Amino acid sequence: MDLCDIREIKQIMNVFHLNFKKEFGQNFLTDRMVVEDIAALCCDADAQDSTILEIGPGIGTLSCELAKRYRRVVALEIDTGLIPVLKFTMGSYPNFTVVNEDVMKADLNALLADAFAEGAVSVCANLPYYITTPILMKLLESGCPFENITVMVQKEVADRLCAHAGSKDYGAITAVLAYYGEAEELFTVRADRFVPAPKVDSAVVRIKLHKEKPYVPKSEAMLFRTIRAAFEQRRKTLPNSLCTGFGELPKETLTAVVERCGHRPDIRGERLDIAQFVTLSDALGEELEKKKMDEGTTA
Ligand code: SAM
């Protein structure tokens, strides 16, 4: 069985009376080299003992390459129709398990405690494009001790995830991602390497999660609030952009905080890297505390 052969993929779908579901982002990979490269690169070189959480196994194209290489693969697939297909295509891999569940509703910590009791865990997925960022945020915010998260996403999303501070692709998601780990764009995959072919090219991004975060804010919530506010009005200067997200502080105070953190008042938020965002969010947090105390003493 060649799960990369378009004719065989279509035959399998026919036999199981299935259509490619657009609403689930079903664009299946058809390039064997791409599938092998993703499977080989999603873990560190010496990680055969790793276990893999796969999101959206489809008919099992990537799953079988993962199952050949790693100790255990647990996959979450939302489409109930694909479960019998996976039983058929993955039947000869006892180290593969599929759970018929929406990743956005899954309790990842419980799944990890249950299915991945020992050894390192990495995530590998050709992600459904309609929900890329929410899935990434869920994985990052879950607190699960993933070593690597390797995902195929639209090329323009990949460029955003891996952008450097100050570049046109750099955005709130880039800064948030940099807080959790280091993202690297591994390679591009042309749209005609999928069936059905999506409208745009894709790229594979590997995020190596920090074991210990190099920059630790006093409050994570304040850090994310600061990043969101800084990018809210991209064309405006940082103090102006912060005005919207920190309406309780006057613009003069916000300008003074930005200057105290070592920036010119006309800097834009997109120039700050994650270390600078952490410093800024701590300073804004202090300013809000000071305001609360002042209000307390004058009340
Ligand atoms: N891994 C296969 C491949 O590379 O050929 C299929 C990838 S396809 C781009 C995305 C897969 O994710 C589909 O199988 C789709 O049904 C599944 N999917 C979509 N939304 C999902 C969700 N919320 N939770 C779990 N699986 C999902």
**pLDDT, tens only, 166-182:** 999 999 999 999 999 99
List the residue whose alpha carbon is closest to atom 18 of ligand 1.
56
Same domain, 171 and 240: no
- Residue 21 CA: nearest ligand 1 atom is 16
β-bridge pairing 202-209 and 181-189: antiparallel
* Domain co-membership, 161 together with 186: yes
Q: Which pLDDT score is estimated for 42?
A: 96
How far apart are alpha carbons 133 and 129 in whole angstroms?
A: 9
Q: What angle do CA 26, 31, 35 make, to 5 degrees?
A: 80
Beta-strand pair 202-209/146-154:
antiparallel
- Nearest residue CA, atom 5 of ligand 1? 28
Determine the distance separating the centroid of ligand 1 and the alpha carbon of 222, expressed in angstroms: 33
* Strand partners for 157: none
| pLDDT tens digits, one per residue of 183-238 | 999 999 999 999 999 999 999 999 999 999 999 999 999 999 999 999 988 889 99
186 and 255, same domain (yes or no): no
Q: Residue 245: pLDDT above 90?
A: yes
Q: Which of 78, 107, 137 to mutate for ligand 1's pocket (most ligand atoms within 8 Å of CB)?
A: 78
The DSSP secondary-structure symbol of 130 reads G
Mean of pLDDT values over 135-147: 95
214: in domain: no
% of the chain with per-residue pLDDT over 90: 89
**Domain finish residue from 190, 209, 228:** 209
Choose the residue to mutate in 4, 6, 34, 55 for probing ligand 1, maximizing ligand atoms within 8 Å of C-beta: 55
Report if residue 233 sits inside a domain.
yes
Tracing tokens 């309790």 back to the chain, one arrives at: 107
- Position 46 scores a pLDDT of 67
Nearest CA to ligand 1 atom 19: 24
> Which of 9, 18, 24 should be mutated for ligand 1, with most atoms under 8 A from CB?
24
Instruction: Kindly state whether residue 1 falls inside one of the protein's structural domains.
Output: no
Compute the distance from residue 3 Cα to the ligand 1 centre, in Å: 15
Q: Which residue range(s) make up the domain with 285?
A: 220-298
Please compute Rg for the chain using Cα positions: 22
Question: How far, in Å, is the centroid of ligand 1 from the Cα of 54?
Answer: 9
Give the percent of the chain with pLDDT over 70. Answer: 98
106 with 253, same domain: the answer is: no
Q: For residue 261, is pLDDT > 70?
A: yes
Indicate if the pLDDT at residue 296 is higher than 90.
Answer: no
Domain membership flag for residue 190 = yes
Tokens of 267: 């800097």
Alpha-carbon distance 117 to 17, whole Å?
A: 37
202/224 same-domain check: no
DSSP string, 54-85: EE--TTSHHHHHHHHHSSEEEEE---TTHHHH
Indicate which CATH number applies to the domain containing 268: 1.10.8.100
167 and 249 belong to one structural domain: no
The single residue listed with the structure tokens 């070189």 is 45
Closest Cα to residue 18, out of 26, 73, 284? 26
Examine the domain organization and report whether 256 and 290 are in the same domain.
yes
Whether 137 and 257 map to the same domain: the answer is: no
Q: Is residue 35 part of a domain?
A: yes
User: Closest by alpha carbon to 111, among 65, 72, 150, 82?
Assistant: 72
Distance from Cα 82 to the centre of ligand 1, integer Å: 10
Query: Around 145, how many Cα atoms within 13 Å sit in the side-chain half-sphere?
Result: 10
Q: What is the mean pLDDT of residues 271-298?
A: 93
Q: CB within 6 Å of ligand 1 — which residues?
A: 24-29, 55-58, 61-62, 76-79, 82, 102-104, 126, 128, 131
pTM: 0.94
279, part of any domain: yes
Identity at 3, one-letter amino acid code:
L
Q: Classify burial at 50, counting beta carbons within 10 Å of its beta carbon; exposed 0-12, middle 13-18, buried 19 or more.
A: buried
What pLDDT, on a 0 to 100 scale, did the predictor assign at position 114?
79
pLDDT above 70 (res 59) = yes
Q: Are 226 and 280 spatial neighbours (Cβ–Cβ below 8 Å)?
A: yes
Q: Is there a single domain that holds both residue 177 and residue 242?
A: no
Domain tally, the chain:
2
Residues 141 and 262 in one domain: no
Kindly state whether residues 17 and 111 are assigned to the same domain. Answer: yes
Nearest CA to ligand 1 atom 12: 56
Domain boundary among 209, 235, 270: 209
Out of 181, 209, 237, a domain closes at: 209
Q: Is 14 exposed, middle or buried (0-12, 13-18, 19+ CB in 10 A)?
A: exposed
Over residues 152-162, the pLDDT tens digits come to 999 999 999 99
98 Cα–ligand 1 center, Å: 12
Answer whether residue 299 shows pLDDT above 70: no
Confidence band for 298, pLDDT divided at 50, 70 and 90: low
CA distances from 31 to 46, 69, 86, 88, 170 (A): 25, 18, 19, 21, 30
In a domain, 265, yes or no: yes
Q: Could you tell me the distance, in angstroms and rounded to a whole number, from the CA of residue 250 to the centre of ligand 1?
A: 47
Name the residue of 13, 26, 200 whose CB sits within 8 Å of the most ligand 1 atoms, as the mutation to test its pocket: 26
Q: Can you tell me the mean pLDDT for 18-34?
A: 97
Q: In DSSP terms, which residues pair with 205 in a beta bridge? A: 151, 185
**pLDDT at position 113, please?**
84
Same domain (yes/no): 145, 26: yes
